[in-house]
Structure 1
Amino acid sequence: MKKELLSLTLGAMLTVGAAGTAAAKVEGDTIILGSSISLTGKYATNGLHTQRGYDYAVDVINAAGGVKVGGKSYKLAVKYYDDESTPARGAQLAERLIQQDGVDYMLGPYSSGMVKAIAPVSEKFGVPMVEAEGASRSLFTQGYKYLFAVLSTSEQYLATAIDMAAASTSDPKSIRVAMAFEGDPFSMDVRAGVVDKINEYGMKTIIDDQLPADLSDMSTTLTKVKALKPDILIVSGHSKGAATAARQIDEMKVNVPMIAMTHCEAAKVQEKFPKTSTGFLCPTQWVETLSKSDPMFGSAAEWNAGFKKAYPSYTSVPYQSAQASAAVYVWKEAFEAANSFDKDTVRDAIAAVEMETFYGDIKFSENGNNIAKPMFMRQIGADSSYSLVEKFGDMTFPRNVNY
């Protein structure tokens, strides 16, 4: 049997309803959310960040009294299976959660590719899924009625870096761009947003590579970068790709004036490669200095402090954990608004969610994506700290690492 985890020890198996609604799978006084999550394989790092975000939110909500439905208080728990970072396995496990384990409420997996594999399963069985880690805009053009995402869509991730490069010169058309992307749905959407901006400014793309599937080597691209000397290097390959890029930029002594990549924080590039990563531009879904708050978690800074207390190994909390907690919070609000465990009633309550949270504003379009929250850009400083970049003048540019 594959690794199976439960965030709370559960009592006897019961199927109950509330407030006269149709029966739904609840175990005793505990509402079970299910998730196929990457605990091994190439997405394991972010899978763990996601799982911890889910579990932290569950702990905070339960400590505050849980979820009230039909005049009764319920605890939350999450049943996990390890999808091994494999889409086919994720789809299989999602069906197992729904069909064999009786889970009626899903939390998403990690990555757009995994959500792409699992969404048809939850849709087939009419099981609502609130996901936090699949940002590909293509997920929200399929007509899904049971898929909801708290995060901003992926075409926004690195487009701002191109805006910043354009602002650095009086002649944006002179900017020469190098790109390297993983071939998964998320990274391809990030690339599409970047390409749209490149075309808008009339810049020249001199390298447009796809990273190898295992994300373990980008030396071929970096060799070309050293030879062609682009003005900006754009990289997107989740945590493993970011770690590989930072490591090989260091090993190969690559110096590009502007480098922007996804997943800096999750890959901890500022800790592992402090000199090389100085000046990196890193898109983020969330920042702990955000002036947003909610009654459950408090402010962004308070959520950040609480999470670090629960998981003291983090010096900088990745946004993947924050948005995972936000997804659990959406479930609490939806259950209470629906006052029901009926899947379709709860689904409609999710669709109607409009709330401010420590993570930012959440409001779903009819396609299920969050239309109330922007992306942010941060730059790694010489002391390995992150600084929020709100305008071009906030940047240290050009990036200059002397080897």
Structure 2
Amino acid sequence: MSAFRKLTAGLAGLAACAVAVPATAADDTQFDGTITLGAAISLTGKYSTNGGHTKKGYDMAVDRINSMGGVEVGDKTYKLEVKYYDDESTPARGAQLAERLIQQDDVKFVLGPYSSGMTKAIAPVTEEHGVPMVEANGASRSLFTQGYDYLFAVLSTSEQYLASAVDLRAELARKDGMKPSNMTIAGVFENDPFSQDIRAGVLADAKEYGMEMVVDDKLPPEINDMSSTLIKVKATKPDMLVVSGHSKGAALAIRQMSEMRVNVPMLAMTHCDSAQIIKKFGDKAEYTLCASQWAPSLKYADKYFGEASQFAKDFKKRYGYAPPYQSAESAAAVLVYKNAFERADSLNKKAVRDALQKTDMMTFYGPINFDDTGKNIAKPMVLYQVQDGEYKVVAPTKYANADVRYPMPKWSER
């Protein structure tokens, strides 16, 4: 715990001693049949699409929990609701709204915004006020190196995004009678915090297997050209190419690799779904491996949504499209709060925070167990492959619903 947190905790303890009413009882009386969760999310601005996905996930879970009896704390039953503000995809606005939720609206529990940048802006505010924040869309590992005590993330953090791809490359090498240490990797990463976190994870995983990074390029934000990297890939002939440049980078990689006829045995990327590579590129997207937080085909289940596939069906029925993983992880964040409220048997912020720290549960989104930094260490990333115009889970192997198609055929053979 940071010195600041120790000081504020000590002051809070002194204040509690001066009041005759126990803290838990006093806190619980503030909730008149409803527990309000606060959320500043991007309803306008550059993150508005995924901000909308986030809100829909929160709403799905709140409505489902309420329809199944609400939240039981002690001898009382509460309904959940979410108070939303639009952060306009601007970090400064997000921090301002978090302050408003806590100071003016008296919100005791916060749901995270969309994106790592917005989460970084809000986390210092919730921490300062000792307000728990369960977030589902801030993956940057740097969020969990600040010593925050009140921040918890249900998703896998950024350095894990392409770990399954490196593991799969090693697994296939062994299957072919080769050593993983003989494999080479080429990487191209946008020079932003998220993609550089992914780069750090790939480098660490490659080092663990003894794999050599033969290309390690950083490209500027707002990537417009990847040709210089792809020329290096042609020259070095790596056993795998990994790309992290958000949706623009994913689309650019498919387009320029097909135009330049760049052949690699394996291609793994982030943001395939948001880049709509199947819709935009058709056959050119075939064989691409795509990192994902979640997939509807996974056999995770809970009593609120059933299996992952049932959540996907319910979501599509309600909103008219298949759920992106942002919606699934957001719904899971609400389930985590319900679980913590009931285990704490209290609505005291500190008691709920302590219950969150001890979370060990299964949801339709996957297992959730937080380490001391607030990261979920129980859920692996999954790896899709584009097969016949559809995404199929191919790794980790124990979660796969299809065999990986490998190696990628040369462009001249497609």
Q: Normalised by the shorter chain, which TM-score bucket?
A: 0.7 to 0.9
Corresponding residue number in structure 1 for 2:220: 212
- Of 358, 361, 377 in structure 2, the residue corresponding to residue 355 of structure 1 is 361
Per-residue deviation at 1:299? 1.6
Q: Report the more deviating stretch, 223-232 or 148-157.
A: 223-232
Match status 1:335 vs 2:341: yes
SS at structure 1 position matched to 2:37: strand
Per-residue deviation at 1:324? 0.9
Match status 1:381 vs 2:387: yes
CA distance in 2, matches of 1:69, 1:41: 38
Corresponding residue number in structure 1 for 2:102: 98
Distance 1:251 1:71, change over 3 A: farther
- Residue pair 2:188, 2:217 contacting (<8 A) in 1 also: yes
Corresponding residue number in structure 1 for 2:199: 191
Per-residue deviation at 1:78? 2.1
- Residue pair 1:246, 1:276 contacting (<8 A) in 2 also: yes
CA distance in 2, matches of 1:351, 1:156: 21
Per-residue deviation at 1:184? 3.4
Per-residue deviation at 1:304? 1.8
Corresponding residue number in structure 1 for 2:321: 313
**1:126-150 CA distances to partner (integer Å, 9 max, x unpaired)?**
1100011222333223221101111
SS at structure 2 position matched to 1:22: helix
CA distance in 2, matches of 1:69, 1:308: 32
Task: Please identify which structure carries the higher helix content.
Answer: 2
Per-residue deviation at 1:251? 5.2
Residue type of the alignment partner of 2:264: V
Corresponding residue number in structure 2 for 1:181: 189
CA distance in 2, matches of 1:216, 1:18: 56
Distance 1:164 1:294, change over 3 A: closer
Q: Which consecutive residues of structure 2, in runs of 5 or more, have no partner in the other structure?
A: 1-21
Per-residue deviation at 1:165? 2.7
Corresponding residue number in structure 1 for 2:19: none
Residue type of the alignment partner of 1:402: W
- Residue pair 2:265, 2:409 contacting (<8 A) in 1 also: yes
1:258-297 map, 5 Å: 258-297=266-305
- Residue pair 1:21, 1:341 contacting (<8 A) in 2 also: no
Q: Computing the radius of gyration over CA atoms, which structure comes out larger, 1 or 2?
A: 2
Match status 1:322 vs 2:328: yes
Match status 1:150 vs 2:154: yes
Q: How many positions carry a matched residue from both structures?
A: 384
How well do the aligned residues superpose, as a CA RMSD in angstroms? 2.9
SS at structure 1 position matched to 2:411: coil
Residue type of the alignment partner of 1:48: G
Per-residue deviation at 1:24? 7.4
Per-residue deviation at 1:300? 1.7
Residue type of the alignment partner of 2:403: D
Per-residue deviation at 1:363? 1.7
- After TM superposition, the score normalised by the length of structure 1 is 0.84
Per-residue deviation at 1:216? 5.2
Match status 1:20 vs 2:25: yes
Residue type of the alignment partner of 1:326: A
Match status 1:38 vs 2:42: yes
Q: Report the more deviating stretch, 272-281 or 335-344.
A: 335-344
Residue type of the alignment partner of 1:273: F
Corresponding residue number in structure 1 for 2:407: 398
- Residue pair 1:136, 1:154 contacting (<8 A) in 2 also: yes
CA distance in 1, matches of 2:253, 2:116: 21
CA distance in 2, matches of 1:253, 1:40: 39
CA distance in 1, matches of 2:251, 2:33: 43
- Residue pair 2:168, 2:395 contacting (<8 A) in 1 also: no
Residue type of the alignment partner of 2:79: K
Corresponding residue number in structure 1 for 2:52: 48
**1:46-89 CA distances to partner (integer Å, 9 max, x unpaired)?**
33322221121122122223223354433322233333433333
CA distance in 2, matches of 1:245, 1:43: 22
CA distance in 1, matches of 2:258, 2:75: 59
CA distance in 2, matches of 1:247, 1:55: 37
CA distance in 1, matches of 2:226, 2:89: 21
SS at structure 1 position matched to 2:340: helix
CA distance in 2, matches of 1:365, 1:42: 32
Q: Which consecutive residues of structure 1, in runs of 5 or more, have no partner in the other structure?
A: 1-16
**1:204-223 CA distances to partner (integer Å, 9 max, x unpaired)?**
33332223323455455445
**1:254-282 CA distances to partner (integer Å, 9 max, x unpaired)?**
44331111122333322332212211112
